Amino acid sequence: MTKRLFSKQSFLGIILVLSVAVLAGCGTAQTPAATEAPQPTVEQPSVITIAIPEDPPSFNAAISDSGYDALVMNLVLLGMTAIDPEGNVFPVLAAELPTEENGGVVVDNDAWTMDVTWKMRQDITWADGTPVTADDVLFTYQAIIDPNTGFWIPGIDLVTGVDKIDDYQFVIHFSSVYPAHLTIFGNRQVVIWPKHYCKAEQGFQSWDCGREPLSSGPFILEEWVTGDHLTFVRNPKYYEAGKPAIDQVIVKIVPDATVRETMIRMGDVDMLMWATEQVAANLKNVPDVQLSISPTNRFVMRLFINLAAKGSTDPEADPHPFFADVRVRQAIRAAVDVDAIASTVWHGYAIPVWTEFFRPPYDTCDIPRPKFDPQAAMALLEEAGWVDQDGNGIRECHGCANAQEGDEFRFELLTYAEYGEPLILTQQLIGEMLKNVGIQADLSQSQGSVMWADSASNGIEQNGNFDIDLYDDGYAGTDPTDFIWQYYNSGSAEPDMGWNIGRWKNEQMDELLNQAYILDEQERQNIFCQMAELLDEELPQILLFSTLNADAYSSRLSGVQANVNSVVSWNAADWTLIK
């Protein structure tokens, strides 16, 4: 008797538990991490929605650089300067850009140090009315350099101090001439934080104001439901009169790329940040969706060639059996048909690039475009001692420089999986093209977190565990010097000391790099062109093409401009709704 009661009870009990869970669900996703926001008084607020794949880690793009942090940061915070799509630096919090002509930049030619004096605008306030002053700049600087809780930003190790002159003027002391000094406190990643609102003791990396910011920019964070969405409303205290024109911006988290694309087609979202080539091609014929393409590109797909044998980091002791010979590298470059790859897999949006210096203002070097010429490639290979004598389509070493006699020319072409389908297909096409000239490339993929980890964590690149690595990179901002240093300087070839993972050590390049840290733009251009020629001869990396930087947006929006030097929200204050 009793047993039946219990079975019914237990069954009902489970139903009860599940029902409670359902009711609990009704209460979820309701509690916002809210900050007080002034309500817009307009009848029908204009709302736009941006879809991104994951939560921004925080509003502080300096510490994480996922891109989505920069997206939301640029909606609410301002830096001293910003960079426009063409690569020009313009003042934001600054009243004007300091130069040597106007006395803002003072170089000590003997000690080779530099002092830069900044004048700030006096009409910008935080959303609570407090003016933005030099105190905030000093506060931000102190937080960044704090030994316990600070974080590295590009150029900060060259700064010896920042001194306040008055409420709206301060001077930065540099220990060396630093060409990119204009954007040190104002770029895609770095903004100025409010001294009276952020708690210094919490530290730059984890302070609460990095998740509940106080705005100086066009919008104010109203609510952040993690994993779901962020809502922003117009900042009535924004310094540009009449802007922003949009009342509300919703940033929606949609993890699946197909769903994001579908949503913009259906009009459920108004903007897709970082539209891929495939999405761009898919949306080309959708009348309500436009594509804004950045006038310059940043990321260049390239073949990183290991000049040391796989598994070694010493190119002198263990030269790579195949690639230590520059003729082989030249052959590989000639064997790859970049146009074919760009027009098919990348839907025509990839632009062939063959030198690091392809972006204004340093794009005036006269490096001829390498020709796609499989015949020339084969001739080079034969000359380098790689001949196919056994007729199996793969060359063997017969008189080659670094391999054993009879060794097959067979290597591993590595790339990373998270990029997506186009990179995998590119890898395949390259493999086929190399096969056509008698080189066997075995294709394999790894993950970014393994490839780029440090040597202690078995990072593939830092440990030299690769033959050729196919992936993309490019320098942020307008100054390539640090980037070139990281990739081509001899010192950067030591494990964990940089990203010269091909272990290319060239004294001439080192010398040129040392000379490049000056302010004279003419002279720099000259130096860069010498570097370009050297790189073109030596080919430590084979550059292929630059990938698209574009954002898709609904036709009812106007003013959207993709910006590879920042993110699409760089001019959010200028967006308007035309429908």
Partner 1 sequence: MAFSQESKTATIAIQSFEGATTSQLIWKRFRRHPGAMAGSVVLIGLILAVLLAPLSPYDPEKSNTNERFQTPSWQHPMGTDALGRDLLTRVLYGGRISITVGLMVVAITLSLGVTMGAVAGYAGGMADSILMRITDAALSLPSLLVLILLSAILREVEIPFFQRNSVLTIALVIGLLSWMTFARLVRATFLTLRELDFVTASRCLGASPFQIVVSHILPNAIGPIIVECTLELGYAIIEESGLSFLGFGIQPPTPSWGNLLSNAQENFIRYPWLAIFPGLMIFLTIISVNYIGDGLRDAFDPYKVLQKAGEL
Partner 2 sequence: MAQYIVRRLAQAVVLLFLLSILFFALVNLAPGGPLAGYGQIRRMPPEQVAALKRQLGLDKPLPFQYLVWLVGNDWMKVDVDGDGLGDSLGTRQGILRGDFGNSFRSRKPVVDELNIRLPNTLYLMAVTMLVALGIAIPIGVISAIKQYSPFDIAVTTFAFAGQALPEFWLGLILILIFYVWLKNPLTGDPLLPVGGIYTIGTPFSIADRIAHLILPVAAGSLGWLAWYSRFLRSSMLDVMNQDYLRTARAKGLSQRAVMFKHGLRNALIPLVTLLALDLPYLFSGAVFIEMLFSWPGMGLFYYQAALQRDYPVLMAILIIGGISIVLSNLLADVLYAYLDPRIRYS
Contact residues toward partner 1 (CB under 8 A) are 256-258, 261-262, 265, 276, 278, 282, 340, 344-345, 417-418, 420-421, 424-425, 427-429, 432, 443-447, 450, 458
How many residues lie near partner 2 (CB under 8 A)? 81
The reply on whether position 16 binds partner 2 by CB under 8 A is: no
Contacted entry of partner 2, partner 1, none for residue 499, CB cut-off 5 to 8 Å set by kind: partner 2
The reply on whether position 34 binds partner 2 by CB under 8 A is: no
- Alpha carbon distance 103, 170 (integer Å): 14
Three-state secondary-structure class, residue 48: strand
Q: What are the DSSP E strand ranges found in 71-228?
A: 81-83, 89-91, 105-108, 113-119, 159-166, 169-174, 219-225
Q: CB neighbours of 15 closer than 8 A, spacing ≥ 6?
A: none
Nearest distance from residue 398's CB to partner 2, in Å? 38
Give the distance between the most distant pair of CA atoms in the chain.
Answer: 101
Task: Tokens for 224, please give them.
Answer: 């952040």
Segment 488 to 527, residues that bind partner 2, using CB under 8 A? 496-497, 499
Task: Give the one residue of 39, 99, 102, 206 binding partner 2; rule: CB under 8 A.
Answer: 206
Segment 160 to 199, residues that bind partner 2, using CB under 8 A? 189
With CA atoms as reference, report the closest residue to 189 among 90, 58, 63, 57.
63
Contacted entry of partner 1, partner 2, none for residue 129, CB cut-off 5 to 8 Å set by kind: none
Binding mask 255-294 for partner 2 (x = CB under 8 A): xx-xx--xx-xx-x--------------------------
Handedness of CA 148, 150, 156, 160 (dihedral sign): negative
Nearest distance from residue 204's CB to partner 2, in Å? 10
Segment 231 to 250, residues that bind partner 2, using CB under 8 A? 231, 248, 250
Q: 162-197 burial by CB neighbour count: b if 16+ within 10 A, else e? A: beeeeebbbbbebeebbbbbbbbbbbbbbbbbbbeb
- Alpha carbon distance 179, 415 (integer Å): 33
Q: Is the separation of the CB atoms in 114 and 106 below 8 Å?
A: yes
Task: Tokens for 524, please give them.
Answer: 């720099």
Nearest distance from residue 201's CB to partner 2, in Å? 12
Nearest distance from residue 225's CB to partner 1, in Å? 24
- Give 56 or 87: the residue with its C-beta nearer to partner 2: 56
Segment 110 to 169, residues that bind partner 2, using CB under 8 A? 147-149, 151-152, 154, 157
DSSP string, 142-173: HHHH-TTT----TTGGGEEEEEEEETTEEEEE
- Supply φ then ψ for residue 280, to 5 degrees: -60, -45
- Give 140 or 465: the residue with its C-beta nearer to partner 1: 465
The reply on whether position 418 binds partner 2 by CB under 8 A is: yes
Nearest distance from residue 255's CB to partner 2, in Å? 5
The reply on whether position 454 binds partner 2 by CB under 8 A is: yes
Contacted entry of partner 2, partner 1, none for residue 445, CB cut-off 5 to 8 Å set by kind: partner 1
The reply on whether position 479 binds partner 2 by CB under 8 A is: no
Nearest distance from residue 211's CB to partner 2, in Å? 7
Task: Give the one residue of 343, 375, 392, 447 binding partner 2; rule: CB under 8 A.
Answer: 447
Task: Tokens for 270, please give them.
Answer: 């108004």
The reply on whether position 25 binds partner 2 by CB under 8 A is: yes
